[in-house]
Amino acid sequence: MAEYTLVEAVQLALSHAMEHDERVVVLGEDVGIDGGVFRATEGLWQRFGGDRVRDTPLSEAAIAGISVGLAAQGFRPVAEIQFMGFVYPAIDQMVNHASRLRTRTRGRLSCPMVLRAPYGGGIRAPEHHSESTEAMFAHIPGLRVVVPSSPRKAYGLLLAAIADPDPVVFLEPKRIYRSVKESVDDTGEALPLDRSFILREGTDLSIVTWGAMTVEALAAAEQLAAEGVSAEVVDTATLKPLDVDGIVASVEKTGRCVVVHEAAKTCGVGAEIAAIIMEHGFLSLLAPVQRVTGYDTVMPLPRLESHYLPDAPRIVDAAHRSLSYS
């Protein structure tokens, strides 16, 4: 079975979807002959032509807005926003239109579109290129927000997102775009949306996270194992809607939870997860839920970003805080 990086798996999923569903069109800035600034659409333009793989004028509002029109007409647009820091002009379309077209027409029109964007820090990128503002989208009724954490997840979840009859914001952790290769079977098999995945089983503590932070969480779990602490790592994968049952089941088993995300702390998705655990798993808790997140500061430029981004030592510290409640 061939091995792929995460970004190659994105390309593989797009290829598969375009090959098997003529309604799928890819659009965005530089997605055509250039194959996307991260090469996520590499070779698609050559293979499927400029009608289905369209370089748009430089306008994020237009990329999202025409996707709404295309989707309402029965196409399955997969729109690329070059970096999450540039997604904000598209938010109007996602919030005011894509997310509610089905509701406001009682199902007469719908919006099966995917808005893809690389997100997150850790690659020493310029200003505005490293943000993690997934919570903005996760707050919006009618949207799905999906974050893959590995090549296989990227492949399966992107296929699911494209096949989904409703709008999906698909955020790709660019820090791990090329960090690992994994075998991916190009069978077109989608992974379920709205479901979390256990990346490592454990009994003493749950680390709940997504995207690139799964790497840090797994490293932290390894360190904790050396101390004799069995940490379970839960990859939420879909942030909207969250897999409440999956997250709560893990915490009910371990009694302790550390939520990790690189987005700023206040009103981050971690706050929602902590609240869900309070609502559904309170009596299982042996310690308050700990949060390890980016700080409530502006994402610093690359020289300081490693101080901003959560890493394994910070997660281990949080685990220790949790374990100190006995």
Partner 1 sequence: MSELPLNQEATDEVAHFRVRRECFLDAEGAVHGELPAFAQDRDAVVELYRAMLATRTFDEKAVALQRTGRLGTFASSLGQEAVGVGVASAMQPDDVLVPSFRDQGAQLWRGVTMEELLLYWGGDERGSDFAGPREDFPVSIPVASHVLHAAGIALAFKLRGERRSAVCLFGDGATSKGDFYEALNLAGVWSLPAVFVVNNNHWAISVPRVAQSAAATLAQKAIAAGMEGVQVDGNDVFAVRHVVEAALARADAGPTLIEALTYRLGDHTTADDASRYRDDAEVSGHWKQEPVARLKRYLTEHFSWTKREEEALLQSGRARVEAAARGYLETEPLPATAMFEHLYEELPAGFDAQRSEVVARVTHGGRERG
Are the C-beta atoms of residues 76 and 26 closer than 8 Å to each other? no
Contact between 104 and partner 1 (CB under 8 A)? yes
Residue 245 interacts with partner 1 (CB under 8 A)?
Answer: yes
Name which position in 2, 109, 180, 301 contacts partner 1 (CB under 8 A).
109
Q: What are the tokens at 173?
A: 């952790």
**Minimum CB distance to partner 1, residue 120 (Å):** 25
Q: Is 75 in the site for partner 1 (CB under 8 A)?
A: yes
Choose which of 16, 76, 102, 152 interacts with partner 1 (CB under 8 A): 102
CA 99 from chain centre, in angstroms, equals: 18
Q: Which is nearer to partner 1, 24 or 117 (CB)?
A: 24
Contact flag: residue 61 with partner 1 (CB under 8 A): yes
List % helix, strand, coil for the chain (3-state, nearest 5). Answer: 40, 20, 40
Please identify, using beta-carbon distances, which residue of 68 and 199 lies nearer to partner 1. Answer: 68
CA distances to 103, 145, 237, 256 from 148, rounded to whole Å, are: 27, 10, 6, 24
Q: Does 65 bind partner 1 (CB under 8 A)?
A: yes
Stretch that binds partner 1, among 10-18, 39-47, 67-75, 227-235 (CB under 8 A): 67-75
Q: Does 192 bind partner 1 (CB under 8 A)?
A: no
Q: What is the DSSP string of 176-214?
A: GSSS--EE---S-PPPPSS--EEEE--SSEEEEE-TTHH
Q: Which is nearer to partner 1, 166 or 311 (CB)?
A: 166
Q: Is 129 known to be catalytic? A: yes
Cα–Cα distance for residue pair 229/98, rounded to 1 Å: 45
CB 68 → partner 1: shortest distance, Å?
A: 5
Q: Which residues contact 214 (CB under 8 A, 6 or more apart)?
A: 149, 150, 199, 233, 235
Please tell me the count of residues contacting partner 1 according to CB under 8 A: 46
Q: Catalytic pick from 20, 97, 128, 129?
A: 129
> What's the angle, vertex CA 211, arms to CA 207 and CA 212, rounded to 5?
90
Out of 9, 31, 66, 249, which residue is the one contacting partner 1 (CB under 8 A)? 66
Q: Which residues bind partner 1 (CB under 8 A)?
A: 25, 51-52, 56-57, 59, 61-62, 64-75, 77, 89, 92-93, 96-97, 102-110, 141-142, 144, 165-166, 194, 241-245
What are the residue numbers of the active site?
129
